Chain A
């Protein structure tokens, strides 16, 4: 692996290798001394053209725990907000000797362009590009799912295993969600069944016709039709709701009635089903406080797993094939 750009082109064995490595990384994080010397002397740049404090600090923590030097380059108060192009930024980073660039950008395909336009030679990690993909989010979700639903006993991390035969629902704005954009292909690659729940206005073109995905237009219907092992609630962006006749659904209240996860719906799901949310949550809109704080909610754990998965991705891209330590 040279870059991590999307999950469409991520081979099953590479995905499992990242998850396994993340398991090892997570284990090191339970020690008293959490910092590993693995990437000492390497430079990782966090290049953020879009605000995302959560993702940025997660990557920053991951790189620092691997002893890499971290440079944060964000849009506010820098040349990025003065109209410097992606190309010029890439040339600058190349000149500074960035070994890896973690890029968050509003334009779909920006990470791909950075990796393949000859502007720079470093490794590129896509930290979210437009409405396209966010592969480390999907990997941390898969890591979390695998721990809870596959692992157990002597091997809680379920090393070497996929998500074969498990069924996950992804609920909400599938059309604009890069989280869904990465999760759907990765879950399919790992052998899971994917159930998508959204109003027709928030589904990507052609998804309703796909034979490998089940689509439902209400959450009740999906809960009724499938024995879900997990449910992922996507954040509803306020700007999608209304505005000059271009709202994707009539009102937040109607959205909550049809698509919100609350305790009552939760109780109709299998007892072992876990609840995921990529954050930040709109409590009371796509998820009730009861569901968010429920014992089966793994939302907080997703955050800590995010650091382990990003450590694994950085490690595998930058340190090659050697095992950690």
Chain B
């Protein structure tokens, strides 16, 4: 089990807030009490943060923690460790567990287990439809009113493909300020699909997952959201066409938010050559033109946030033929480094922008009131320290996750999170984990 941090005070000295303002951060009783080390009590633990960047604790809107049901792949505890090490203070745990998170009972179980572990705030995502079956709305009101206070609903892994059901869901969640996060994938256009439909799939003889299967659902759903005046969130945008449709929707004032995954910012379908199933993911890795488009979309705000789609799978589901392998890849510990490599070091985003796309906006979309707050006096002490100079080579087996299905093994990343504070307690510091009292 994790140790418990007991109201210890921290003073983070000489840190660069958002990469542009030098300050100290004094964390006492769960809040930022001062921006000057002079105000820190004598017993406060001092952290020399010269050269580090402070960001509000990262928030992942799209995580698979696998518990309940697939504890062989991940548990709330191991996933929380991986998240804390990646710089996250909150994660949204997707509903495709066994049993499905489609009742107040299941979401409360996930939520309270997250509290018990205490390394990140685990916000359960509720299923839109019972059993993710796409036929009957789940009791979203009960989940919203439970202790877990669910605000994000998604059938992720499956698309809510029935247009009428999607309309009803979009309307219904307005009752409690919820949002539907759509996994945009036309099921008929992607039957049996194994990878992006393109020249590489043609050469490899793998059934294609065409871009249009994502784009047509996004087009339909932004129109529906506009029609009923609801907000809609689009999961894992992966194609150039999707970015264009979303740009158009935003120009029309439709309340749509979107996310992109680190792997879609970095990798292309060329990775599938060799049939190494660690590169099998849904939606699939696309072409370089798509990578360029999602990067541009993230840079200009068309894409609102980066989320991980952290999807742990045990070895036996990846160390096999491509067609038999599971889809998905872990990503909590590599997300920040990939964003730095693809967006910050190229000048497309500042660290202040990273705070926006990895903390502030995901917290706002998920209605996580205590997360994504400014690094100011009186605000919750949810803080991530980033060392942008800590170049490292990804070693999948070194992860805190229970699974090691990372596609980034051997890739060099320029920086990483070095410390994470949740409500003033160091959940991850000096490569140790400490839980926050529930």
Chain A positions within 8 Å of B, measured between CB atoms, are 8, 85-87, 105-110, 112-113, 116-117, 129-133, 178, 181, 204-207, 246
Residue of A nearest to B322 (CB): A109
Which stretch of B178-186, B199-207, B360-368 is in the interface? Answer: B199-207
Which stretch of B45-53, B313-321, B394-402, B415-423 is in the interface? Answer: B313-321
Cβ A113 vs Cβ B316 within 8 A: no
Query: A86 vs B318: C-alpha distance in the bound complex, in angstroms?
Result: 12
Interface size of B in residues (CB-CB distance below 8 Å): 23
Cβ A87 vs Cβ B320 within 8 A: yes
| Residue with the highest number of chain B CB atoms closer than 10 Å, among A8, A106, A205 | A205
25 A-B residue pairs with Cβ-Cβ distance under 8 Å, sorted by A, are A8-B203, A85-B316, A85-B320, A87-B319, A105-B321, A107-B322, A108-B275, A108-B323, A109-B206, A109-B275, A109-B321, A110-B323, A112-B275, A113-B320, A116-B274, A129-B205, A130-B323, A131-B205, A132-B204, A204-B202, A205-B197, A205-B199, A205-B202, A206-B202, A246-B191
Contacts of A207 in B (CB 8 A): 202
Contacts of B390 in A (CB 8 A): none
Q: Across chains A and B, which 9 residue pairs bring their CB atoms closest together, nearest first?
A: A132-B205, A109-B275, A107-B323, A204-B202, A108-B205, A107-B321, A131-B205, A110-B321, A205-B202
Residue of A nearest to B315 (CB): A87
- Does any Cβ of A come within 8 Å of B124's Cβ? no
- Does any Cβ of A come within 8 Å of B208's Cβ? yes
Cβ B199 vs Cβ A206 within 8 A: yes
Residue of A nearest to B198 (CB): A205
Contact A178/B205 with A116-B274, A246-B191 known, Cβ cut-off 8 Å: yes
Residue of B nearest to A114 (CB): B321
Cβ B204 vs Cβ A108 within 8 A: yes
Contact A205/B275 with A108-B206, A113-B321 known, Cβ cut-off 8 Å: no
Query: A206 vs B197: C-alpha distance in the bound complex, in angstroms?
Result: 10
Residue of B nearest to A206 (CB): B199
Query: A133 vs B316: C-alpha distance in the bound complex, in angstroms?
Result: 25
Query: A85 vs B277: C-alpha distance in the bound complex, in angstroms?
Result: 14
Cβ B198 vs Cβ A107 within 8 A: no
Cβ B275 vs Cβ A113 within 8 A: yes
- Does any Cβ of A come within 8 Å of B324's Cβ? yes
Query: A132 vs B323: C-alpha distance in the bound complex, in angstroms?
Result: 12
Contacts of B198 in A (CB 8 A): 205-206
Query: A129 vs B202: C-alpha distance in the bound complex, in angstroms?
Result: 14
A56–chain B nearest beta-carbon distance, Å: 19
